[in-house]
Amino acid sequence: MPWDSIKLNDGTQIPSIGFGTWTLGNGQNVIDQVDQAISLGFSHVDTAQSYRNEVEAGKAIRESGLAREEIYVTTKYSGLDGLDIETSIQNSLANLGISYVDLYLIHHPRLATPDIPTAWAKMEALQKKGFAKSIGVSNFGVEDLKILLASAKIKPVANQILWHPYVYAQQAPILEFSKQNDIVIEGYSTLIPITRSPGGPVDKPLSEIAERLDATPDQILLAWAKAKGVVVVTTSSKESRLKGYQRAGDLKLTASDISAIDSAGAEGAKRSTARVFVRRAAVAALAVAAALRVLTYFEIL
């Protein structure tokens, strides 16, 4: 497979590309799209309590014909309806129709109540009970991770964060700290520069590299994220694009390619229009905030 699995700090492995259900809504459309992704080779399905489509994702997973261990399932504690971590994991398992998830994440540090150490101890307890094979976090910054690690008996295996070239410089310290502590970064909204914020500085190197490699700009973005060691969580309703995302795992970017994308991302972040790029990326990310009703705009960034 072009996207190899990555070994996590607890000895388990995570597929390095996942199909995300964040923007899919609910209903039969979700079942159909998850089913399509699985049929095209996506073995990692990412959902969350706040997406309100665990039932549909679970139905597609169960009807795929694949054994449970052949599908990697991630869901997240989103504090939905004021429910605690212990209750939420049971609800998520019931919704998904499975006895365990492969990865369970705290969706945002603001949800770690009454504090991060207490919430993380609850995550550790549910892992020991077998409800989640691995546990991690999402949208945690360096300081949040430091607080967590200071009391943790079990390290988080992953931190899922906003990840694309226009926020790379901002998120790079999280990546570096995570590498130092053997925590894998998962990236969402990697395609924002071309799907929601076209016309920025990154367009040029993406087009040039894509032409040279006989690829598409979206494939180059995914290959860029992979080169950074990031697990990609992405989505599309189009079969052709999903096939293209799979092929992106075979692309080999040079150090110059990666540097050109990094530099263009930094240039965009410095321009007066950078706020637009970052805000548009955050608008996509803030579907989470709207669902949780506890996050402010800037807490995602």
Q: Identify the residue whose tokens are 């094979």.
A: 133
d(CA 54, CA 21): 9
d(CA 148, CA 124): 12
107 marked as part of a ligand binding site: yes
Give how far Cα 54 sits from Cα of 37, 88, 277, Å: 16, 12, 30
Determine whether 51 is an active site residue: yes
d(CA 222, CA 97): 31
Q: How many residues does the chain have?
A: 301
Q: 51, 72, 166, 188: which one is catalytic?
A: 51
Inter-residue contact 260 to 205 (CB < 8 Å):
yes
Inter-residue contact 60 to 69 (CB < 8 Å):
no
d(CA 271, CA 291): 31
Q: What is the DSSP string of 144-176?
A: HHHHHHHH-SS--SEEEEE-SGGGHHHHHHHHH
Whether residue 114 has a cis bond before it, omega within 30° of 0: yes
Report the binding-site residues for substrate: 107
Report the binding-site residues: 107
Task: Give catalytic residues, as residue numbers.
Answer: 51
